[in-house]
Amino acid sequence: LVASEAIQTLTADPGVEGDGPQGVLVVDLCSGSGAIALAIADEVPSARVHAVELGDDAVLWLRRNVEELDFGGRVSVWHGDAGDAAALGELFESCRPRLRRMIRLRLDCRLQGRVDPSDILQEAFLDISRRGAEQARSREMPFFLWLRLMTGQKLLEIHRRHLGTQL
């Protein structure tokens, strides 16, 4: 049911082809043997899927399943969880180009000479790393949307810091 709902959501919107040539990004936390991650990769050809699993035995099965089904590198296996700083850092780095694009599009032109998108990403990552375990437990929204929300909040904070209430 969860995989079906995700696939339906990803295929229902014609604009979900993702931003740019890399397609839509899906992060499957607590991936287990990879059933949901692999179903999404199979049904949504534009999807790049990051399957994240903490359990050693489950990661072995996950890697076997990914290798056996061979999605041409569109499915990545991450051993850890979103609360693990190293895993969170790697996941953040995989999303960094899309987050940078979002910042460049939303950064007020009055700040473009003073504030660099990399600085905003660095500050956002500090907040994200403090709240990573909380997000992994709550699962209220998809991981990338949460990253985008946290980065957008940091961008808003920086706008207010530099421009006051002139938004």
Model pTM? 0.57
Query: Which pair of tokens denotes residue 130?
Result: 């403090």
Share of the chain above pLDDT 90, in %: 35
Whether the per-residue pLDDT at 137 is higher than 80: the answer is no
Q: What is the pLDDT of residues 56-108, one digit of tens each?
A: 899 999 999 999 998 888 998 888 765 667 777 878 888 899 999 999 999 99
Nearest to 29 by CA among 134, 127, 150, 153: 134
d(CA 70, CA 29): 20
At residue 5, the pLDDT reads 76
Q: How confident is the model at residue 19 (pLDDT cuts 50, 70, 90)?
A: very low
Q: How confident is the model at residue 138 (pLDDT cuts 50, 70, 90)?
A: low
Q: At what angle do helices 2-12 and 35-43 cross, to 10 degrees?
A: 30
d(CA 51, CA 82): 11
Residue 25's DSSP bridge partners are 48
Q: How confident is the model at residue 132 (pLDDT cuts 50, 70, 90)?
A: confident
